[in-house]
Amino acid sequence: MYKGSKLFSVFKGKCPQCHEGEFFVSHPYDISHMGDVKESCDRCGLKYSKEPGFYYGAMYVAYGLGVATFVTFWVSMNLFFTDVSTGFQIAVILLAIILFSPYLFSLSKIIWANMFISYKKDAIENINRSKSQQ
Where residue 64 falls among pLDDT bands split at 50, 70, 90? very high
Could you give the CA distance from residue 19 to residue 17 in angstroms, rounded to a whole number? 6
What distance separates the 2 farthest-apart alpha carbons in the chain?
71
- Please report whether residue 134 resides in a domain: no
Full-model pTM: 0.87
Question: What's the CA gap between 70 and 40, in Å, rounded?
Answer: 33
Q: Residue 20 domain-assigned?
A: yes
What angle, rounded to 10 degrees, do the helices at 86-116 and 58-80 form?
140
CA separation for the pair 123, 121 (Å, rounded):
6
Instruction: Write out the H or E segment, with its range, that includes residue 96.
Output: helix 86-116
Q: List beta partners, residue 24.
A: 37
Q: How far apart are CA 105 and CA 35, in angstroms?
A: 6
What is the total count of domains within the chain?
1
> Is 78 among the domain residues?
yes
The answer as to whether 133 is a domain residue is: no
Rounded CA-CA distance 12/23 in Å is 9
The percent of residues above 90 in pLDDT, for the chain, comes to 78
pLDDT score of 123? 76
> How do residues 3-53 score in pLDDT, each as one tens digit?
889 999 999 999 999 999 999 999 999 999 998 999 999 999 999 988 999
- What is the residue range of 105's domain? 6-128
Q: 80-104 pLDDT, tens per residue?
A: 988 999 999 999 999 999 999 999 9
According to the model, what pLDDT value does residue 3 have? 86
- At 130 the pLDDT is 65
Q: What is the DSSP string of 112-130?
A: HHHHH----TTHHHHHHHH
